[in-house]
Structures are given as structure tokens and as C-alpha cells.
Amino acid sequence: MSSKEQPLVSIIITNYNYARYLKEAIDSALNQTYAHTEVIIVDDGSTDNSRHVIETYKNQIIPLYKTNGGQPSAFNAAFAVSQGEIVCLLDSDDVFLPQKVENVVKAFNTYPKAVVVYHKVQNIDHAAKHFGNPWPPYKVIVGDISSKVNRTGGWWPFPPSTALAFRRKPFLCQVMNAPEESPEDKFAGIDSYLADLAPFFGEVVGIDQVLSYYRIHGSNLSGNSTNAPPQVRQTKLIQDHEHREKRLNNGLKRLGINTEVSLKNHLPYQLFKYKRGDKDTSLISLSLLALQNPWEYRILSKLKTIALLWLQRRNFQKD
């Protein structure tokens, strides 16, 4: 690659009390086949052994320490000191595969209009054992999807933070800083803030390859914990989507984009409402949304989803 094709990549790691996983995450960021990187780690007021782990890396990384303010606040602090033309997100309990950044840079070089590049992830448990199929399960996206995202209520099937990378200029420079003032903002993910906005600013490009591991464990499930009653989990997910819709529409308006999304067309949101038993969500309307799902190209898969909804309808009792 020429110097123009080898942009500086900022890998931003946000951490809060994940000392037990932190070394593996930092090592995975440092051991990339693409060398032109800076690794910035923000410790968001951890009370465990995280600071000791970070300090062992000395000048290999750029450390930041702050009082606890939530992930958006931590990312804002890191972005302010970052220099990379491309910014990769990495949660401190996840892991990059060695060729992740190299592949991301190639994708950005190939698609100059791309504002976000994503790839598939493999779920692992607390002991790094693989389980489940790679995600997202859909055909990867390449191109301008703004009209589709508008029609689906702001929904597109993006993966978690560890599989997302964004172009600094103009996208990140336009949309940063992320909101962090309200309690809802504090506990919202930086991945959803950026990925919800991205399709309205340029192309989305997916890589059909697993390039990171996403760790599922009890500590990162919060309100979606499998120990919580189903209605509690569903209500939490519904509230998350409602906050995201408000945040996205506020952001679009603030940034001069004349469009507004509606959750009435948002398939996952409507599915959660139906499962909770909300009377304003019908099985017929849900089936139509599943049939119109633009991210699923296989008609048999759409029909299977609809058939399962009807077969399982007795499990979702309406009040």
C-alpha cells in the first residue's frame, strides 16, 4: 500500500470493571497485521484491577482515566485525543482477530464513499468458547441504504461495537460528540448512536468474514439478563428502541437532514411489543413487516419467520 492507502487507524477501547478480560482485548488490538495504528484505552472509573492492567503496557497505548460517566462519555473523551482517519471500536471484553484492521482499511480504500465498515462476529463465552452462528445472519450490505433504513424505522442489522469502524472525515467530525447528559444517554451504546446515523451520511460496507469475537457473559447482559422475567427483558428492549428513535431523529434534525424515522415500521421493536402482549401490535401487521424485511433476501426465510410467529402465537397472551 502507498502512504495514502495506509491511513492511521485509531482503535478505541472503552473499559469499566473488565480487568479479567482487558489484557486479551488490548493484546488483540496491538497484535494486528496492519501496523499503522494507535490504541487508546479509556477507563471509565473502574473500581477493579483495570488500572494496573493498563499501566503494564506503558507507552504501547494511550491511556485515559476518568470518573464514571457511561460509554458515550468515555468514547467522547477518547475521540477528542484520537488522530486516526479511521476509528475502530473495541469493547474491553471482546477480541479482534489479527487481520481485522487490515481488512477494514482495504474496505475503506475500495469504497471511498463508505462512512462505516462492519463485519461478522463470532459469539464466545466467558472462557472464550465459541457458540452459535456468526452474526449478522444476513447477506452483507454494500452501498447506500438510507432509503431502506428510513422505511424500516431506522433499523439495519449492524453488529456490536467490536465489528464497527467509522471514517473520521466527514462523518465522525459531523456527528460527534455523542449525547451523554441524560440517564438514558449514559447507558446507551456508542455503537447504536453512530451506526443509527451512519446510513444517512454515506455508504455502508460489510465484510463477509468473522474478524472479531463478541463475548457474552452475565456481566454484559444487564437488563437483558436471562435471569430477568421475559416481560422485564422485553420492556427494557422496547425502551432502548424508543430512546434510540428519539436520539436518531434529534440528531438528524440537528444535522440538517430532512427525514424522520418511525418505529411503526421497525420489525424488532414491533416484535418485542407483540411478545409483551401490547394490543396495538397485531400478528398480521407483524407478518407484513417480516415479509417486507429488506435485509432478508431469501423468501423462504421470510415465510419461515412468519410461520413461526403464527405457530407460537399462543405463547404471547394478550391482556
Domain boundary among 220, 248, 268: 220
Residue 223: per-residue pLDDT: 40
Q: How far is CA 212 from CA 26, 218, 267, in A?
A: 13, 20, 27
Distance CA 256, CA 112 (A): 23
CA quadruple 265, 186, 125, 43: dihedral positive or negative? positive
Same domain, 196 and 301: no
pLDDT at 253 over 70: yes
Q: For the ranges 121-125, 129-133, 195-199, 225-229, which has the lowest average pLDDT?
A: 225-229
Domain boundary among 220, 243, 273: 220
CA quadruple 57, 63, 65, 70: dihedral positive or negative? negative
Residue 74 makes CB contacts below 8 A (sequence gap 6+) with 14, 15, 16, 42, 44, 66
Looking at the domain assignment, is residue 1 inside a domain? no
Answer for the pair 173, 280: CB distance below 8 angstroms, yes or no. no
Domain boundary among 220, 246, 281: 220
**Tens of pLDDT, residues 185-237:** 888 889 999 999 999 999 999 999 999 999 998 665 444 444 567 778 888 89
Looking at the domain assignment, is residue 246 inside a domain? yes
Number of domain units in the chain = 2
Residue 82: per-residue pLDDT: 98
Same domain, 28 and 159: yes
| Structural domain of 269 | 226-315
**Tens of pLDDT, residues 134-145:** 999 999 999 999
Same domain, 149 and 14: yes
Residue 3: per-residue pLDDT: 58
**Tens of pLDDT, residues 288-304:** 999 999 999 999 999 99
Q: What's the DSSP call for residue 172?
A: I
pLDDT band per the 50, 70, 90 thresholds, residue 315: confident
pTM for this model (two decimals): 0.92
Same domain, 197 and 236: no
pLDDT at 164 over 60: yes
pLDDT band per the 50, 70, 90 thresholds, residue 90: very high
Answer for the pair 89, 162: CB distance below 8 angstroms, yes or no. yes
